[in-house]
């Protein structure tokens, strides 16, 4: 196995380990066991558990942005792209549940430095979403560089995160219904503010 492939396997195992066991309760030996290598090999790539966690967190955040970015900036009307983006968020959570938990659910880790890093990565991710939505925000009369734009994206991400968790816990609503509900809440306000400019 090539070094990049082995590193990717270790990171993937780390995501599963930290998401299921939590940062504090998980050790490098757990990651080694999941990835099928020795602890020494894990340490060859990542000198500490903290560095491994941060690498996994940052890489999963980048993967999530790539996943939804294609929907945000894709073809179609703004409403169609918003619907596609909401659908993509639900899809990501279903396909990569451990990455989802690491990025959006497990916000506290029993380590102040890790908690601060998690918050920074979340803030950077939301800033990247603002940049992806810049044209639509401008059309809605919102300056993408304003604090208001950041707050709107924070509320958008927060609402979708809770919707994913609510649906996961109850399993009483299919994805189509969940997307419709999200659009009723999220799109109607944005479209009304734009006064038809986003039509």
**What pLDDT shows up at residue 109?**
83
14 within some domain: no
Mean residue pLDDT across the chain = 89
Rounded-to-integer distance, Cα 113 and Cα 8, Å: 24
Enter the tokens of residue 177. Answer: 């219904």
Q: What is the pLDDT, as a whole number, of residue 190? A: 59
Whether 130 is in a domain gets the answer: yes
Residue 124 lies in a domain: yes
Q: How confident is the model over 21-52, as pLDDT tens digits?
A: 899 999 999 999 999 999 999 999 999 999 99
Radius of gyration of the chain (CA): 19
**Percent of the chain at pLDDT exceeding 90:** 60
Look at residue 43 and tell me if it is in a domain.
no
Contacts of 67 (CB under 8 A, 6+ apart): 88, 92
- Quote the pTM value: 0.86
CA distances from 27 to 24, 59, 112 (A): 8, 19, 18
Q: How far apart are CA 72 and CA 74, in angstroms?
A: 6
Query: In this predicted model, what pLDDT tens digit does every residue of 155-191 receive, in sequence order?
Result: 989 999 998 988 888 777 888 898 998 888 887 765 5
Position 82 pLDDT exceeds 90 = no
pLDDT band at 59 (very low <50, low <70, confident <90, very high): very high
Q: Which pLDDT does position 28 carry in this prediction?
A: 97
- Give the residue numbers spanning the domain of 172: 49-194
Task: Establish if 21 belongs to a structural domain.
Answer: no
Distance CA 18, CA 30 (A): 9
pLDDT of residue 78 exceeding 90, the answer is no
Contact 9, 36 (CB under 8 A): yes
Provide the total of helices (H) and of strands (E) in the chain, helices listed first. Answer: 10, 0
Residue 107 belongs to a domain with what CATH number? 1.10.357.10
Q: How many domains does the chain have?
A: 1
d(CA 193, CA 197): 9
pLDDT value of residue 169: 82
| 8 A C-beta contact, residue 84 and residue 177 | no
**Stretch 89-117: mean pLDDT, rounded?**
91
Q: Does some domain include residue 20?
A: no
pLDDT at 96: 96
**pLDDT above 90 for 196:** no
Evaluate whether residue 8 is within a structural domain: no
């Amino acid at each position: 196995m090539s070094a990049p492939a082995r590193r990717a396997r270790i990171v993937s195992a780390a995501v599963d380990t930290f998401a299921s066991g939590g940062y504090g309760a998980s050790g490098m030996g757990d990651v080694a066991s999941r990835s099928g290598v020795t602890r020494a090999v894990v340490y060859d790539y990542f000198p500490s558990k903290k560095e491994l966690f941060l690498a996994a967190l940052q890489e999963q955040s980048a993967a999530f942005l790539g996943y939804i970015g294609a929907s945000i900036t894709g073809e179609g009307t703004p409403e169609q792209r918003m619907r596609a983006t909401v659908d993509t968020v639900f899809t990501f959570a279903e396909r990569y549940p451990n990455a989802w938990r690491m990025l959006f659910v497990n916000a506290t880790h029993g380590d102040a430095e890790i908690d601060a890093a998690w918050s920074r990565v979340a803030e950077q991710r939301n800033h990247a979403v603002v940049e992806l939505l810049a044209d639509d925000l401008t059309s809605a009369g919102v300056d993408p560089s304003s604090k208001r734009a950041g707050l709107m994206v924070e509320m958008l991400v927060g609402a979708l995160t809770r919707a994913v968790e609510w649906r996961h816990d109850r399993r009483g609503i299919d994805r189509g219904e969940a997307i419709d509900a999200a659009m009723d809440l999220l799109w109607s306000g944005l479209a009304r503010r734009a006064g038809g400019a986003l039509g």
